[in-house]
Amino acid sequence: MRSALLLLPFLPAALAARPFLNEPNTGIEEAIGNTPAGTLPDLEHIVGLPDFEWAARRYMNVSSYTYYRNGAAGEWSYRNNLEAYNRFRFRPRMMVDVTNIESTLPTTILGHNFSAPFYISPCARGGLAHAEAEKNFVKAAHDEDILYIPALYASLSVDEIASAKPSNGSQVLFQQVYLNDNDTETKQLFRKVEQLGSKAIVFTVDSAADGNRHRAARYGVGSADSSFTYITWDYYKKLQNMTSLPVVLKGLQSVEDVKLAVEHGAPAVILSNHGGRQLDGTPSALEVALEIHQEAPELFEQIEIYADGGVRYGADVLKLLALGVRAVGLGRPFMFANTYGVEGVKHAIQLLKHEIAIDAGNLGVGDLKKIDASYVKWTNNNWYS
């Protein structure tokens, strides 16, 4: 017993050194591991979002897969994004009527109604996975009634992406942008976005310099936005005067910056570290949301707060919602699902909707709008630190 106790101080370090599992071992190799490289297993065999990456890695060429997969430097932030959710344990409640949980999934994002509290995050180069590229995201988001935010550096132009929407103008899209100090170009872009019917502009602010992406450098697939960029709060105020659309700030990573966003009239912010692709050592969105909950919980009432990064399960979504996040973004899972085209993206959306509902039911949440921080033990267990 005494020898075992002596080992306890070294346990966290030993666990931190464990091999990293990009996807969990849920029997996929035994079930469909014989799928030939360069082909996709039948979509019915994809039972969770991580399965899409397993399939895509075997299907895509190595440089295209790397473009989607890469993270900054040693990829510790990429890894932390995935692992942060498992540091905190649920506190399930029993004997609760959860039979109507599915009817409580719909939410609003900047006043627009959607069927679930998650959206397709902006990711570049959809054409690396499928010939129809971003059109598949538009169509799947429409059919499943969720938000899609196209990336500025998409494979298709903003006009081509907008052309995939139904002609009746019913679908809501936001548009992600990177900006430089050329105000004339910025005004032209904003005018184009407005004309195409986008309902908000999502300004990515966590890419002021090139990403330090070692994995990407090996294959020549580095950052699409590689210059030093002038991004300040004064510049943001100028942008707000260039458009009638709400300008959402994407990439905030501290409670201080969310407070400043409120002070500067931002309608919403997205907690994000760019998928762990820009600066290694940055916090996950869950850690930032927890910081806000602990230090300034009133911010969740003062501004709409969304979050993305490392979400792979319905349980991950629930932990963010429990802290006060309104909607959760996913990027890579949908990019990998796009190898199957529209049906793959729709399948991913359906899987996540189902997981959110059944995980909420098992958590004892009868109404998703009533989930709060009491459903999670927010003490770090250190099992995955």
Residue type, 41: P
125-142 tens-digit pLDDT: 999 999 999 999 999 999
Q: How far apart are CA 63 and CA 42, in angstroms?
A: 24
User: Is 272 flagged in the annotation as binding?
Assistant: yes
Cβ proximity of 343 and 130 under 8 Å? no
* Domain 85-377 falls under CATH 3.20.20.70: yes
Choose among 333, 177, 150: nearest CA to 250.
Answer: 177
The predicted pLDDT at position 335 comes to 98
Choose among 236, 248, 165, 241: nearest CA to 202.
Answer: 248
User: Is 33 flagged in the annotation as binding?
Assistant: no
User: Is 274 flagged in the annotation as binding?
Assistant: yes
The predicted pLDDT at position 14 comes to 46
56-84 tens-digit pLDDT: 999 999 999 999 999 999 999 999 999 99
Annotated domain spans of the chain: 85-377
User: Is 213 flagged in the annotation as binding?
Assistant: yes
**Does residue 385 surpass a pLDDT of 60?**
no
* 274 is a catalytic site residue: yes
The predicted pLDDT at position 226 comes to 59
265-275 tens-digit pLDDT: 999 999 999 99
pTM of the model: 0.94
Q: Please provide the distance, in angstroms rounded to a whole number, between the alpha carbons at the two ends of the chain.
A: 25
User: Is 87 flagged in the annotation as binding?
Assistant: no
204 membership: H or E segment, kind and range: strand 201-204
From 130, 142, 274, 293, active-site residue: 274
241-268 tens-digit pLDDT: 999 999 999 999 999 999 999 999 999 9
